[in-house]
Structure 1
Amino acid sequence: MTPPTFKTPVTIVTGFLGSGKTTLLGNLLNQTHDRTLALIVNEFGEVSIDGPLLEVREDGVELHDVHGGLLAYGGEGDAFRRTLRALRERRHTFDHVLIETSGLAVPTAVMVTLEEPEFAADFLLDATLVVVDTPLLLAGAFSPEAGDEAQQSAARVFDAQLEYADVAVLNKIDALSDADLLQAEADVRHRAPRVRFLELAYGAKLDTQLTLGLNLHGSRRGAAHQAPVSGAPDELMQPLHDHSALDGHSHGDLDAHVHSLSTHQHFHEHDPGWQSFRLTSDEAQNLPELVRTVQNVARVFPVLRVKGFVQGEDGGRYAVQAVRSRVETHAAPPKVDAPNELIFIGYHVSRKKVTEALQKALPQRWG
């Protein structure tokens, strides 16, 4: 366990909607047996879907679910700070804190919160990871030259997540060629030259030694003085260059990665165009029909993410995960006993129109 004289390391895991953060984290938690972890999961929506999907071992992992907004956005009494206070009181019972932010969040808000006097004496940022949906990156889904408002806003969020990342994780890469991976690395390095590490997540898995305990932001000793992130000297803000061949990971130098937060305070006010809503149904679902309908909805409306749980006509419980028109279903974890519910996240998306589209295409009632 972490001795009380040491600061507890904190790793922030961010990444745009549907990048695979939850799956990656679930695998990471289950393969980490040398330390006890506390995990905070944040979702942009009124109910939690990602928390129940985390099939983690029962011992050694403490899960805290925070949904309904963006972490660290809000006043003194927000849920994130309350969770940190609770963890601080029991910090001797775990070794490391992992924070999974919403897919629409930029990590700066959490970074600033960790620097507040109330928390800086007990917690220390270990590293910030950004999980990248590599096929979407290569397809130009985050191109700043994209024509519609939704893609332009997505590109802004994605670039901000990259800018404040120490580690960029290329995810969903199993079907990609070496040339694809080199192109993806070049794209990430071009957009965010300060990224320190580039890691490949084959099978949505990462080496814990390349993820936890990186200590990229200073000493863990509580007595050591930590300069505020917002006060980074200019010479420490120079781009880090490294274009070594992809061998599973590539690295820059090993000096502490320092960020300046001063230019991104406005990201603490998330784009109000992003909206989410929950639809439910009391009837068993025909999975192929539901998948086709969700695909069509994503093609017609500015829906970028759909996730939830449904009961199939065969009596089984299934998780539904969609990123744009790419829809997947799989058996839900045994602990899931949620109603038929789907969370839709989009940009200026109409709940009424999406509901009408489901009603028109499916015999089951959704609303």
Structure 2
Amino acid sequence: MPEDGLFGIENLPYGVFSTAERPGERRLGVRHLGRVLDLGAAAAALGAPHAELLTRPSLNPLLAAGPAAWRAVRARVQDWLSGPDAAERLGPFLRPLGAVRMHLPFEVADYVDFYASEHHAAAVGRILRPQAPGLPPNWKHLPIGYHGRAGSVQVSGSPVVRPHGQGRPPRGAETPAFGPTRRLDFEAEVGFVVGVPSAPGTAVPQHAYREHVFGLCLLNDWSARDIQGWEYVPLGPFLGKSFATSLAAWVTPLDALEAARVPPPPRTHPPLPYLDDAGLPPEGLDLRLEVRLNGHLIAEPPFAAMYWTPAQQLAHLTVNGARLRTGDLYASGTVSGPGEDQRGCLLELTEGGRRPLRLGGMERTFLADGDEVSLTAWAPGPGGSRIGLAEVSGRILPAR
């Protein structure tokens, strides 16, 4: 299916753009097929009741307005685009996608990354700790995560500079190595965008997930595996992750993905009550990811295989009373499946660098300078249609 067909009237993701005529002015837009609707200008001209929210330079005011506003705005845009006079009414507010510059769609408040794929966690354990059990003993009882660096989140297409850091001491040496990472990796993930905040000291139960989370987008949690491997004991990822996280420019509302809802995999350990989703509507999602390295398709990770759902992740994130803020971003962790072609990072795809990928005359264990990684995805939509998730991409630049 052509890419435009993945962004029809049942999808309508939101983003922030600027134009060549007014490069310093950021505007809220909705993507429809191969065009961008200037949402603020259309809302003001057509007298939409939520025009004040839609003429801001970021999604945050709309995010904070809550589900009733989200549904009302979405319904109105669908009505505009499907009306018999759509071309005449909306023509002045539509621009070709290629004629605008995209920016981060919202101001990121906090950023948390999870580790929710059993296939990924087990494979990483097998590769890095072959003498130990693949999964740590807590893995089936809680969604493991870490706090990332919100200031390092960047929009798709931004370059990724190879980071410096410490690595394990060379054989026979006592002093750690220092320099540019030699084991730069991508991680194919899905990010979830919080709209409505919560009060400090108040947990958000799973059944309230859709009252707080607006939508989702693809995310690449770039990782320096040698830096990560030296620093992560005992407190977890730090400099090996914090140098860059790439986010798609378009946020797809959860309401566009109703047809993609699926039950998560069977539980092998009974979860504690706040994580027990038995009897609740399913919050797994049938998202089909595709990973390309320099244009070569190298993996097709299935999000439906994720052990912990985004609703469970949100419940765990807040169970200690940590509050949500508008613009919070939390990511799923690497999406991987059981097949060799379903692995969501090079660490898995190359067995820790021991089995190089060979693609069109090039060989890779980890990323080289100049490499470009792009993630795309689609999900089932109503009536047999497909809902596209906008691409997130990034090119590696040499260390500075």
More helix, by proportion: 1
TM-score, normalised to structure 1, is 0.25
When the two structures are superposed, what TM-score results if normalisation uses the length of structure 2? 0.23
Which has more strand, going by share of residues?
Answer: 2
